[in-house]
Amino acid sequence: MGKGFFNVPIAVNEPVKGYAPGSPERDAVLKAYKEMFNSKTDVPMYINGKDVTTGSTRTMSPPHDHQHIVGQYHVAEQSHIDEAISTALEARKAWADMPWEQRAGIFLKAAELIAGPYRAKINAATMIAQSKTVHQAEIDAACELIDFLRFNVQFMTDIYMEQPESTSDAWNRIEYRPLEGFTYAVTPFNFTAIAGNLPACMALMGNVVVWKPSDSQVYSAKVIMDVFKEAGVPAGVINVVFGDPVMITNTVMASPYFSGLHFTGSTFIFKELWKQIGNNIHNYKTYPRIVGETGGKDFIIAHKSANAKQVATAISRGAFEFQGQKCSAASRAYIPSNLWNDVKNYVIEDVNSFKMGSPEDLNNFITAVIHEGSFDKLAKYIDQAKADDNAEIIAGGGYDKSKGYFIEPTVIVTKDPKYTTMCTELFGPVITIYVYDEDKYSETLKLVDETSEYALTGAILSADRYAIVEATQALQNCAGNFYINDKPTGAVVGQQPFGGARASGTNDKAGSAQNLLRWVSPRMIKETFVTPVDYRYPFLG
């Protein structure tokens, strides 16, 4: 098929637009927001290149205005999942043999559609569906998804170029086959980019996919699917299904052709899915690949030499952007006693200056949390902290779900370094701080390492290089993404490949070639030019 060794465009990160007053991007996104907010969208499933409506529907409402309805989506019965699987397997016959540059062309086109004609729409959808501020929507739904699509094409060619040595009489080649069967993408609510990337990166490598987005992200998932369609993803290659996650997963995993799970979401669900795959292992035609990026209890530790204002800013940004609903959000901090007074005052000043409300008002830094279940859970932990003797709330602590699911950014200070909110992932705008004796740095590093089951992100702030060296060593297993003198959030595709260890996931680094390698099964081909005709080796005489 190939008639040239093609170079792909060099991937560059999409510049983040500013949305300053008077800018064209600000006008465009607000116009799109208004139009979408004030209309009703019907979201079908998408199976075998066709919109599928079932008549069994659920409504969609913005978390910041939960009585307002922006549309409905159709949910699957088991027969729809069976159809998604069989059409994916049918589509595989042509897709797996599609020349790589043609697959690349489709996803590079998808990136440019998002960068241009779909940018306002995908950002507005993310503001409405997931209550992101325009900045959070821009860095996620537009820029990160564009980056994933562009960089993955480059990573794919890097992988394909990894070839073994050959000799004059034998030519050794590796081809990177897609997995045999179909793959399953299960995506979380909190990143539109992850929702798009999980199915897209598997499809880019030649796989066919059944994709189940989160119920809380369907509205922006629809825009992703519209982009994929317009970019030319062929029928059956990515099939989108909505509805009961247990029924969908049971049906997918009962198929002997299930060949891979690409999951991002909570740790408990991932462990359950892994167990289910294990229980079915005798039924599969191939060992399914399992990639999961899950929860975190991400930390900031400051050394006594750190700058208090920098520490406070790392906390304010790291803990509260997108209401703390980033897997990387700082949710526990360890502050030395000498800095505490200043850090405390700066953080309280920051938190009190945050404006909270609808993302349509671009003055707001904080909006609503994703749904009532999340709101109720966070309110419960806040109430508990108010009641507990060993915890004190020094900022925030209020909540109100009358119009939207609004939780005030909340700072808890505890005297117990193992206090429940120091250990448990809350996934909301709540950080817990433990103030340690400034002379007990080494002991505190041990505490950081031993406090949580997770190992996703973490940060050390220090002006003392020996303290940085010590933290880098002592904390080597408790963060897959480790930050020095920065907040622990904000990974950029192509710059900081992302993923955690321990209970946080399989650490297959989204936004890197390592992740794409999980979706191929290499075939070694040795071609011998002069084939022997005598079994006797020279030593036989």
Cβ 285 to ligand NAD shortest distance, Å: 22
Site size toward ligand NAD (CB under 6 A) is: 30
Residues 20-59, mask of contacts with ligand NAD (x by CB under 6 A): ----------------------------------------
214 touching ligand NAD, by CB under 6 A: yes
Give the burial class of 3: count Cβ atoms within 10 A of its Cβ; 0-12 exposed, 13-18 middle, 19 or more buried. Answer: exposed
**Binding segment toward ligand NAD, per CB under 6 A, in 167-175, 187-195, 222-230, 520-528:** 187-195
Percent helix / strand / coil, the chain, rounded to 5: 40, 20, 40
Contacts of 480 (CB under 8 A, 6+ apart): 455, 456, 457, 498, 499, 500, 501, 504, 505, 507, 509
Which position among 265, 288, 336, 497 is part of the footprint of ligand NAD (CB under 6 A)? 265
User: 454, 414, 408, 404: which is closest to 434 by C-alpha?
Assistant: 414
Tokens in use for 204?
């880019």
Residue 73 binding ligand NAD, by CB under 6 A: no
Q: How many residues does the chain have?
A: 541
Residue 456 CB, nearest approach to ligand NAD (Å): 6
Q: Which of 16, 69, 170, 246 binds ligand NAD (CB under 6 A)?
A: 246
Shortest approach of ligand NAD to residue 217 CB, angstroms? 8
Decide: is 269 part of the binding site for ligand NAD (CB under 6 A): yes
For ligand NAD, the binding residue among 41, 57, 78, 266 (CB under 6 A) is 266
Stretch that binds ligand NAD, among 278-286, 289-297, 311-319, 523-531 (CB under 6 A): 289-297
d(CA 50, CA 73): 15
Amino acid, res. 528? T
* Residue 423 annotated among the catalytic residues of the structure: no
Alpha-carbon distance of 44 to 455, in angstroms, equals 38
What x-and-dash track marks residues 167-186 binding ligand NAD by CB under 6 A?
-------------------x
Q: Give residue 345's identity as a one-letter amino acid code.
A: N
Residue (46 or 95) nearer to ligand NAD, CB? 46
Q: Is 478 a catalytic residue?
A: no
507 conformational bin, left if phi > 0, alpha if psi -120 to 50, beta if neither: left
If one asks whether residue 323 binds ligand NAD (CB under 6 A), the answer comes out as no
188 lies in the binding site for ligand NAD (CB under 6 A):
yes
Query: If 0-12 CB within 10 Å is exposed, 13-18 middle and 19+ buried, where does residue 266 land?
Result: middle
Task: Decide if 319 contacts 426 (C-beta within 8 A).
Answer: no
Binding to ligand NAD (CB under 6 A) within 379-438 occurs at 425, 427
Smallest gap from residue 224 Cβ to ligand NAD (A) = 14
CA–CA dist 290, 508 (Å, integer):
10
* 264 lies in the site for ligand NAD, by CB under 6 A: yes
CB of 335 within 8 A of CB of 319? no
Q: Which residue minimizes CB distance to ligand NAD?
A: 265
Q: If DSSP codes are grouped into helix, strand and coil, which group holds residue 218?
A: helix
Q: Tell me, what amino acid is at 355?
A: K
Q: How far apart are CA 314 and CA 298, in angstroms?
A: 12
* Min CB(427)–ligand NAD separation in Å: 5
Among 295, 318, 429, 488, interactor with ligand NAD by CB under 6 A:
295
By beta-carbon proximity to ligand NAD, the closer residue of 310 and 424 is: 424
> Cα–Cα distance between 533 and 6 in angstroms, integer?
39
Q: Which residues contact 379 (CB under 8 A, 6 or more apart)?
A: 399, 407
Question: Which is nearer to ligand NAD, 186 or 343 (by Cβ)?
Answer: 186
Which of 14, 293, 408, 425 is the catalytic position? 293
- Binding region for ligand NAD (CB under 6 A): 186-191, 194, 212, 214-215, 245-246, 249, 264-266, 269, 273, 293-296, 327, 425, 427, 456, 498, 500, 504-505
Catalytic residues: 293, 327
